[in-house]
Structure 1
């Protein structure tokens, strides 16, 4: 089929592709066209489109070897909190240490470790707190595994990469910006109240969005969560719920710290949020077209934290806390890590303050990002939720 870049209108402002990127996109487009051809009725549900564009071996966004993390000057597509400043990991260490001591373990399991920035700051901080962690990483991208290995090797720490979930785990689980990258179902309520699922078809040698009657499983899940809003489009992350449900099987003792952008359900499915939360990122350009540059751009959706908390409870886990990233970091002592003593020069202090401002500001990451803690066998109140716990809003 024709390269979608040349056969459909792209969002304005996106930078042009270099020859190598165009060649990669063409390969991804051929792969996706074949997936659509094999799908029943030539209709590929959106969650499968998102899975293939992000995770297809050697082709998907997270499986191919392009630069994903870092600032615009580094050619990345987005910046995560650990990439922004090591103060994030150093502050998180206080909460991780409390969980490890409460669970009688020194094991940390990080999902989706990205460039390894969080582990690179967290491991030394845990050492400073008297803990030599056994650090385990679950990473689907072979490319990112290599980057993580290179970044973490100088620490000479006990770091290992897992190919499968553990049968049983005791310790602290960390997932920073993981759930938002899990494939979601897209849906739309029709004017007559019928529920439709959105997916992708090939139309006139181009990818196009289409819709069909929602399958029973999707319809049941949504009808339990929200009324029918005619014309309303949004998404539901059943894969993240399945992931948390599985955690109920393998988390024997300890806690999981889930850090991501999102809302409680009453805000997520608010009538005024009629186009959902789906967002795409390409070289620090944010837009809402998931069909543009397949395999080269990130696709994300915000997290329904009510759904995650409910699923945890159904899986036999305890919901230990829910709050904003700003409140969580302040509770964990972020301000004590600022380099404000005489040993820090003016430039270092200014950069640290700017990063902290972004972590805490309501206009930046402080309010949009939330922290949800789910646990088993941990009795003590968690440090990060001592003030400003919002579980009552879930």
Structure 2
């Protein structure tokens, strides 16, 4: 791997997280699940990737999300958000709001359409990101910032729209290894020098139950490795218990189960990101890398359905944005011959192109008390593939 080197301060912070992880492994019987490791690497207070203060989004961070590319993403998504609020209640919650750009874009576009929510709640675990979100809203939509509040947890009761863009992929996953002799859980242990190493043990409990329920055949030789996002399922279940009327829009990269567990995908989907470089070593500089796994959208649909939610639609990001009018948003952006229009058109191509984000990213809607078809799935609904 040819990666840029972190600063001395960043390496010192990572070292403190390494010490914390070593202590945890020792106290847990010299083995922890990868889900526990990933949770610490991303969310350990003051040290994890999302709680340690390092810049994450944009050109100076580790990756770029759709709202960072162009405000047209949020402007188009506002079409669906407005419909959900109209069919339920004028309230909106965004989970994992990044830099706050999507919140600003949604609010400004909903204002233009005379469809502003009475409240805009942001669920954010990172104190550093909360500050950036506050600054972004104060800069881009100062007259609307009073509608926004930051939530420390899921509300007890809620009606309205919930938006989560690239949230499920950073929830801690269990790593599973199917071998000829059985189903194992891949966890993390320490070698003689105190370094992190992979260590497998026979799966048990809810992990074994969930892995077995997939019905994957054991290989005749070698192993098949993939992920289980039990945290994502639980999170959807928690929302189901609180949502009285409305819908959740979950946008992320992933596949239906029939594609997620293909025989050719035998090493799983786990990836790490550091300054726009993708790599596969989650033990490198813990706390400085984003760690993600693709989303099994069939599991998301099952979690919602089993908890009492309706599965309202499933499609790719291209169809989501086209159905929600992104081309109309582009047309009013600037004259077609202008530099601004050309730049925006290129961003739309990246968001919707079949070989870029348009096919890789999907959206699923889970709701309650929504009786009309949602605009996002007017064309190209892939619900049958789940």
Which of 97, 119, 122 is the equivalent residue of 2:106?
122
Matching residue of 2:183: 195
The residue that corresponds to 2:124 in the other structure is 139
The CA deviation at 1:19 is 1.1
Judge conservation of contact 2:333–2:341 (CA < 8 Å) in 1: no
From the superposition, tell whether residues 350 and 342 of structure 1 become closer, same or farther in structure 2 (CA, over 3 Å): closer
The separation in 2 between residues aligned to 1:123 and 1:245, in whole angstroms, is 28
Distance of aligned partners of 1:375 and 1:342 in 2 relative to their CA distance in 1, 3 Å threshold: closer
**What residue in structure 2 maps to residue 82 of structure 1?**
67
What residue in structure 2 maps to residue 99 of structure 1?
84
Q: CA deviation at 1:229?
A: 3.4
SS of corresponding position for 1:42: coil
Q: What SS is found at the alignment partner of 2:359?
A: coil
Q: Which residue of structure 1 aligns with residue 35 of structure 2?
A: 47
2:274 matched residue in structure 1: 282
Deviations 1:147-193 (A, max 9, x none): 1111112423200001121111000000000000000000101222x
TM-score normalised per structure 2: 0.95
Q: Residues of 1 paired with 2:160 and 2:361: CA distance? A: 23
Q: Which residue among 275, 278, 284 is the counterpart of 1:292?
A: 284
| TM-score normalised by the chain length of structure 1 | 0.94
The answer to whether structure 1 residue 227 and structure 2 residue 216 are counterparts is: yes
Query: Which whole-Å deviations, capped at 9, do the CAs of 1:344-376 have from their partners, x for residues lacking one?
Result: 762211210110010011111000100000110
Match of 1:332 among 321, 324, 330: 324
Q: Which runs of 5+ in 1 are unaligned?
A: 1-11
Structure 2, gaps ≥5 residues long = none
Whether contact under 8 Å (2:320, 2:377) holds in the other structure is yes
In the alignment, structure 1 residue 244 sits paired with structure 2 residue 232 = no
- RMSD over aligned Cα, in angstroms? 1.2
Number of the residue aligned with 2:16: 27
- The C-alpha deviation readout for 1:175-231, integer Å capped at 9, x for no partner, is 000000000000101222x11111111112211111111112111111111323321
The aligned residue for residue 202 of structure 2 is 213
For the residues of structure 1 that align with 2:279 and 2:376, how far apart are their CA atoms? 33
Is the 1:248–1:316 Cα contact (8 Å) retained in structure 2? Answer: yes
Residue-by-residue CA offset, 1:276-324 (whole Å, 9 max, x unaligned) = 1001000000011111110000000000000110111111110110000
Distance 2:78 2:194 in 1: 51
Greater mean deviation of Cα atoms: 339-348 or 245-254: 339-348
**What is the match of residue 25 of structure 2?**
36
